[in-house]
Chain A
Amino acid sequence: MDKGFQLFPEQASTLAGQVDALYFYLVAVSVFFSILIFFLIYLFAVKYRRRSEDEVPKEIPGLLKLELVWSIIPLMLTMVAFAWGATLYFDSYNPPDNALEIYVVGKQWMWHIQHPTGQREINELHVPLGQPVKLTMTTEDVIHSFYIPAFRLKKDVVPGRYTTMFFEATKPGEYHLFCAEYCGTKHSKMIGKVVVQEPAEYQNWLSGGTSNEPLEVIGEKKFQQFACHTCHVDKPNARGPSLVGVYGKPVRLQDGRSVLVDEEYIRESILNPNAKTAAGYKPVMPTFKGQVSEVGILQITAYIKSLATDGSN
């Protein structure tokens, strides 16, 4: 993936052009003020250079109006940057509902990527052109950061929780993938590539390769392997609530609060089951901390998610 010498990065996502536009606005503001200051200093430096040791320049009193002018104009220019930057930022956190969900798990020093259809990749991420993609990310150890310069996107991957990121690629090709948060010895080797493919080509890629069991199928196997199904069944005296149709809906807890069943809640319930016990059940579930990996949790989550749609059918 030798790109050759460049002075400006490629634009390969819907966001990239927008970020660059804002960037150029900031560059313009910066160049204007830098040149203004340098020019004035140069001008005064030459024009008012000391001609004799005993000359005494006239005193110029401070000028409130001038102070206000050069406070308020920069303030307004920066407020434009603030509003513009904030709008883009919030947009980039609002994936549409049809986004393709891909899971990412960081580990010293590699990226493990899991597609919903079951494909797994190490340090490579294949995505289709022109379709919104949402990444749900976590890490097994320290903080990493998932960074794709050509998409102008970066998000830290934090242990103990999920972070998300969303993009839509606009140009086929291969792009750098970096870890941007220092994570130990081989931090600079925790790199890879993002491959953007035409949708047909992407489908092709999906159907090739090995082990193409969909994620929820792998998840279902894990669900049985850990014997989750012995308690979480739809029977009157089951020790745990049935998980059919729960995903994406609120559930009542024992203390009367409600919590939304999402990836974060499922993850917490697997690792720290008694933190938020559903109403009507005893806090008897053992923790699976140390037994199930972050990838395994994602697979089980995918299975539970699939139960939600099954239930509604």
Chain B
Amino acid sequence: MASQPHTLQHHFEDLEQQFESSSLGMWTFLVTEILFFGGLFTGYLVYRTRFPEAFHLGSSLLDVQLGAVNTAVLICSSLTMALAVYWAQKGDKNKIVLFLSLTIALGAVFLGIKAVEYSHKFHHHLLPGNGFTFEGPFSDQVRIFISFYFTMTGMHAFHMIIGIGLMIYLIVRARQGWYSSEYNTPVEMVGLYWHFVDIVWIYLFPLLYLIGRH
């Protein structure tokens, strides 16, 4: 059982039904993710309308260059993920492994840059919580901005780590030859997840890094 794919689970009539179900299930899951991050975006919106100056000030403390580079890195990883799915649909095992590995590598680069950013912030005592110090106006409200920055990017990074774990699983299974042009649903589902995480960042980048820059 371990090394053989069981392509069609017993309770489905055919592969079409199985794929359609997985696909709907994954999209439903992504809808729950939208609302999960939605709670954070609601808090962000409330405080940004309440403390616009503090949010502009807080945003100016972030490094636009690193943020922009990370955005590009994540978009690259989305491309490699899309290509991994593409080769899964074509049933090319080696290419699946190759592109999944590239995606993991790009994800790791993203997380590495994130870690550098975090350590800069920590170095300047811009951290979420009691160690926070900020010499300047609105320090309490800047603190709230920084808390949002860490919570939102932290939650995003956590999702990426899960995504990387899933891709490692896919690589193991792909090497065992589980995926073919007939059956590649798991690759496609993880792809959906990874692209969703990318979309979250697409919103986080302008909302956190690019406000009040002019």
Q: Which chain B residue has the least Cβ–Cβ distance from A271? A: B140
Count residues of chain B with CB under 8 A from any CB of chain A. 6
- Chain B residues numbered 106-159 whose CB sits less than 8 Å from any CB in chain A: 137-138, 140-141
Rounded to whole angstroms, the CA-CA distance of A255 and B53 in the bound complex is 10
Contact with B along A226-266 (1 / 0, CB 8 A): 00000000000000000000000000000100000000000
A276 (CB) vs chain B CBs: closest residue: B53
Contacts of B51 in A (CB 8 A): 275
Distance (whole angstroms) from the CB of A253 to the closest CB of chain B:
11
Which residue of chain A is the closest to B136 with respect to CB atoms? Answer: A274
Which B residues are in CB contact (< 8 Å) with A130? Answer: none
Q: Using Cβ atoms and an 8 Å threshold, which residues of chain A touch B138? A: 272, 274-275
Q: Complex: how many Å from CA A222 to CA B53?
A: 31
A95 in the interface (beta carbon within 8 A): no
- Scoring A255, A274, A283 by chain B CB atoms within 10 A of each residue's CB, the highest score goes to A274
A255 to B54, CA, bound (A): 14
Docked pose: A272 CA to B54 CA in angstroms: 12
**Which of B137, B140, B141 is A283 in contact with, Cβ under 8 Å?**
B137
Please name the residue on chain B nearest to A255 by beta carbon: B53
Distance in angstroms between the alpha carbons of A274 and B142 in the assembled complex? 13
A283, B141: Cα distance in complex, Å: 16
Assembly CA distance A274 to B134 (angstroms): 14
Q: Which residues of B contact A (CB under 8 A)?
A: 51, 53, 137-138, 140-141
A-B contact pairs, 11 of them (CB 8 A): A255-B53, A272-B138, A272-B140, A272-B141, A274-B137, A274-B138, A275-B51, A275-B53, A275-B138, A275-B141, A283-B137
Q: B-contacting residues of A (Cβ < 8 Å)?
A: 255, 272, 274-275, 283
Q: 8 tightest CB-CB pairs across the interface, nearest first?
A: A274-B137, A283-B137, A274-B138, A275-B138, A272-B140, A275-B51, A275-B141, A272-B138
